[in-house]
Amino acid sequence: MKFSVEIMPRPEALDPQGRAVQGSLQRLGFTVEDCRVGKVVIVDVKEENKTKALEQVHQMAEKILANPLIETFEVKAL
């Protein structure tokens, strides 16, 4: 089963990469109010049971894929 884990900086956390992208877009003439940069991790789990697979991916995100102090994550089945 495939899942995507969407990881984003927390709203209150600084996002220097997002600021850099926002500045570049504005210099190119785009009207950008805010920009946040995150990442997406696609995980293919060898588990037939969807509930168990989803729980495994949540554990992966909590333990290693995302830093809970500065990031949030959302898991979606693909």
Each of the 78 residues of the chain gets a pLDDT tens digit; together they read: 999 999 999 999 999 999 999 999 999 999 999 999 999 999 999 999 999 999 999 999 999 999 999 999 999 999
Residue spans of the domains in the chain: they are 2-77
pLDDT (0 to 100) of residue 49: 96
Q: pTM (2 decimals)?
A: 0.88
Residues contacting 1, CB < 8 A, separation 6+: 44, 45, 47, 48, 50, 53, 77
The residues with which 73 forms a beta bridge, in sequence order, are: 7
Range 2-77 classified under CATH 3.30.1280.10: yes
Name the CA dihedral angle for 72, 63, 76, 20, rounded to a multiple of 10 degrees. 40
**Sheet strand arrangement including 39-44:** 39-44, 2-9, 71-77
